[in-house]
Amino acid sequence: MDTLLEANAINTGYGQLQVLWDTEIFVGESERVVLLGANGAGKTTLLKCLMGLLPIWSGSIKFAGNQIEKKRTDERFQSGISYMSEMGVITGLTVEENLLIGGYYLPKSTQKQQLEKMYEQFPDLKQKRRNAGGSLSGGQRKMLGVAKALMSLPKLLVMDEPSAGLSPLFVKEVIDFLVKSTEQSSLSLLIAEQNVKFLEIADRVYVLDGGRITFAGTVLELVADDAVKRAYFGLDGA
């Protein structure tokens, strides 16, 4: 498996406050990676560094063979990394306007094709295409967030807590359509979550604690790791 994204020895923070300490992660092509961590562990901070939304103090980031740590966010986006923040959707714009923003850099004809593809994949969105993003239910809003992020035909989709604010039923829906979205493509996923339900679709897992990676391995290895289980997730080994 070829490595698509590689972040090495990332140190960063806000002002005097250091949040990430020598953080290292990688994502392979077609791989689904979950970054688990409690509130305040530094997940959002790491994703922001990957996207160029927060400068790194030291370290390096490589994507599809190129060093990107000095690239602007729009350049990273155009090179194939798409980002779904916790907000995900612009509530004052319609569903279709949101989708078109997601495909902003595509040639017009590809943009149209992608729009049709998203409507095929998410028929609910087609029905609501003239409605404001803010009028959608929590689950539909997430769906729009994912569709918007997929519009740009990314190689890697980076998601910040897609489960935030969703009921367990909607979480299942989000997981199902993420599986559907990745099944017929080579799309890689990096999902920052505190919800262990997302482990169901993970090829590999990182645990981030206090800004440090404290576990890296497969889900089976995570489940076998009693210390990780007890310390962070209260899992009982079932």
Residue ranges that bind ligand ATP, judged by CB under 6 A: 14, 17, 19, 37, 39-45
Q: How far apart are CA 1 and CA 136, in angstroms?
A: 39
Tokens for 209, please give them. Answer: 């604690």
Least distance to ligand ATP from the beta carbon of 206, Å? 12
- Give 45 or 82: the residue with its C-beta nearer to ligand ATP: 45
Least distance to ligand ATP from the beta carbon of 166, Å? 14
- Give 1 or 14: the residue with its C-beta nearer to ligand ATP: 14
Tokens for 137, please give them. Answer: 């239910």
Kindly give the residue spans of alpha helices, DSSP state H, lying in the chain: 43-51, 73-78, 95-102, 108-121, 123-127, 138-150, 168-183, 219-224, 226-228
Q: Amino acid identity, residue 68? A: I
Least distance to ligand ATP from the beta carbon of 19, Å? 4
- Give 38 or 101: the residue with its C-beta nearer to ligand ATP: 38
- Give 119 or 232: the residue with its C-beta nearer to ligand ATP: 232
Place of tokens 């076998």: 224
- Sequence-distant (≥ 6) Cβ neighbours of residue 139 within 8 angstroms: 166, 167, 169, 170, 173, 174
Least distance to ligand ATP from the beta carbon of 208, Å? 7
- Give 18 or 91: the residue with its C-beta nearer to ligand ATP: 18
Tokens for 70, please give them. Answer: 């000095």
Least distance to ligand ATP from the beta carbon of 119, Å? 31
Reference 179, options 166, 189, 169; nearest CA is: 189
